Amino acid sequence: MPVYDIKKTFKYNFEHGPSISSETLPFKIIGQAKYPFWGKKLSSRLGIPAGLLLDSRWIRLYSQLGFDILTYKTVRTRLQTEHPYPNCLLVEATKPWLPGAIPDSVKTSKSYTPITKISMTNSLGVPDLQSPEVWQPDIAISKNYLQPGQMLIVSVVGTAENNHFDSFMQDFVRAAALAAEAGAEVIELNFSCPNSPVEEGHIYEAPEFAAQITRAVRQQVKDLPILIKIGYISEDNRLARLLSAVSKDISGIVGINSLKLRVVDQKGRQALPGADRSKSGISGYALKYLARDFTRRLVALREKEHYDFKIFAVGGILTPQDFQDFLDLGADAALSCTGAMWDPALALKYHLHYSFPALNDPPKKKKAIMKTEFSSNIEHVLKVNNLL
Ligand SMILES: Cc1cc2nc3c(=O)[nH]c(=O)nc-3n(C[C@H](O)[C@H](O)[C@H](O)COP(=O)(O)O)c2cc1C
């Protein structure tokens, strides 16, 4: 079962917390802090993007599981409920989609295996079930759970009202200010939610709006690193225009977000109930090659224009090798949402294979690791690396 139960509502997952309790986890992974990120050193360049870490309980769990860059799910300045159930469905993608060959629609699927090939759709609408009075102290709690060598990003979004750009931008600034006040080490501006009203979800496609919001937030949060979360852009010139508009004010780019696509059931009918829900965001395996293509082009543009922002690659990371592939392409960090949701041991497997961290346990406790619900894979990885 995934850590986030897709058969239940978002509210249920929020209220009940992750399906694995961090208190019962028999180990913590603590690496050596060696990767510089804005004045601090991180133990690794692996992390979780906005979406999976609904509050401090999720941050605590995944920080123990070896993910060192942790993003608090997008918050708002006000409460907002999620779209009607269901919010997440598995979808069929036998192969990752290629640039220039993205299908028009995708079918739902019942198959859960193998988890290294899972694709999903999510349609939540960037809900915020906590008001700032609740999420602000929870961010402080989240920070206390971090181990040395870890970093907390807080993702924020402005709430669009009546197509009024100025008030939308002011709300973005307010959300960022509240997150900064709460102790966010890095602020992420969500410019790309595929399930939001047009104004909120497509800012990354409107360079002049993106630049205005980023500039206003920069003035508000001063020296705090600012990231923007963007969706897939297929044309280089459009990507170049966005980068040129925001490059002065940003510290990094996170991408790609889920890809908006028509989702149908096995009979070809709209899969998710309700108006405006014929299309929703696709994540996981289907995105793997699109995200790589995107990272490659982002790295090339950064080099060509001598930009100095960091690149946080996201999309279709479901195996330890996937993390490494993105880092090898030149990304500064690699983050997994769908993969980490279905395989909580993903970072642990990476570390055992690529970074051999000192597990924070004496050898006899390695037996305890094997008692966890993801034991069989762990046992294999430990054996392969002569750690058993
Ligand atoms: C259930 C779910 C919720 C998400 N919520 C957010 C969100 O609140 N803010 C955001 O910027 N991205 C959100 N995302 C998008 C992810 O951060 C990520 O960009 C996308 O899923 C692609 O990565 P993946 O293939 O590793 O899942 C969400 C994704 C999923 C699956």
Cβ(200)–Cβ(160) under 8 Å? yes
The rounded Å distance from CA 342 to ligand 1 centre is: 13
Report pLDDT for 365. Answer: 45
Task: Check residue 356 and give its pLDDT.
Answer: 56
174 lines ligand 1 (CB under 6 A): no
Ligand 1 and 287: CB distance under 6 A: yes
DSSP state of 25: -
The 10 Å Cβ neighbour count of residue 50 is: 26
Within the chain, where are the H helices? 10-16, 56-64, 132-145, 165-182, 198-201, 207-221, 236-246, 288-305, 320-328, 338-342, 346-350, 366-369, 375-384
Atom 19, ligand 1: which residue's CA is nearest? 257
Q: 212 CB less than 6 Å from ligand 1?
A: no
List phi, psi (to 5°) of 379.
-60, -45
pLDDT at 381: 46
List CB contacts of 105: < 8 A, sequence separation 6 or more.
261, 262, 263, 264
| Residue 214, ligand 1, Cβ within 6 A | no
Q: What is the dihedral of CA 323, 328, 332, 337, to 10 degrees?
A: -20
Q: How far is the CA of 126 from the centre of ligand 1 (A)?
A: 10
Ligand 1 lined by 338 (C-beta under 6 Å): yes
Spacing, Cα 189 to ligand 1 middle (Å): 13
Instruction: Report the distance separating Cα 260 and Cα 281, nearest Å.
Output: 4
Q: Atom 30 in ligand 1: which residue has the minimum CA distance?
A: 51
pLDDT value of residue 359: 47
| Residue pointed to by tokens 């960037």 | 126
- pLDDT score for 21: 80
Q: What is the pLDDT of residue 26?
A: 63
Sign of the alpha-carbon torsion through 39, 141, 149, 287: negative
| Residue 74 CB–ligand 1 contact under 6 Å | yes
Q: Which domains does the chain have, with CATH numbers?
A: 10-23+35-341 (3.20.20.70)
Nearest atom of ligand 1 to the alpha carbon of 336: 26
In Å, how far from its chain's centre is CA 256? Answer: 9
What number does the ligand 1 atom closest to the CA of 88 have? 1
Asked if residue 257 has its Cβ within 6 Å of ligand 1, the reply is yes
CA of 358 to the centre of ligand 1 (A): 30
In this structure, which residue's CA is closest to atom 6 in ligand 1?
51
Q: Which of 172, 124, 61 is nearest to 272 (CA)?
A: 124
Q: Residue 161: its pLDDT value, please?
A: 83
* Residue 186 backbone phi and psi in degrees, to 5: -145, 140
pLDDT at residue 35 in the model = 95
Out of 172, 257, 259, give the residue to mutate to test ligand 1, the one with the largest number of ligand atoms within 8 Å of its CB: 257
Calculate how far, in angstroms, residue 256's C-alpha sits from the geometric centre of ligand 1: 9
Closest atom of ligand 1 to 257 CA is: 19
State the residue for tokens 């759709």: 121
> Residue 267, class by beta-carbon neighbours within 10 Å (0-12 exposed, 13-18 middle, 19+ buried)?
exposed
Q: Is residue 47 within 6 Å of ligand 1 at its C-beta?
A: no
Rounded Cα distance, 117 and 169, in Å: 38
Label residue 299 left, alpha or beta by phi (over 0 means left) and psi (-120 to 50 means alpha).
Answer: alpha
Q: Is the CB of 337 under 6 A from ligand 1?
A: yes
Query: Is 193 an active-site residue?
Result: yes
Digit-by-digit pLDDT tens for the chain (388 residues) are: 789 999 999 999 999 999 888 776 666 667 778 899 999 999 999 999 999 999 999 999 999 888 999 999 999 999 988 898 999 999 999 999 999 999 999 999 988 779 899 999 999 888 888 999 999 999 999 999 998 899 999 999 999 887 788 999 999 999 999 999 999 999 999 999 887 776 777 899 999 999 999 999 999 999 999 999 999 999 999 999 999 999 999 999 999 999 999 999 999 999 999 988 999 999 999 999 999 999 999 999 999 999 999 999 999 999 999 999 999 999 999 999 999 999 998 998 888 778 754 444 555 444 444 333 334 445 454 454 444 3
121 Cβ inside 6 Å of ligand 1: no
- Catalytic one among 46, 193, 228, 290? 193
pLDDT for the residue 28: 66
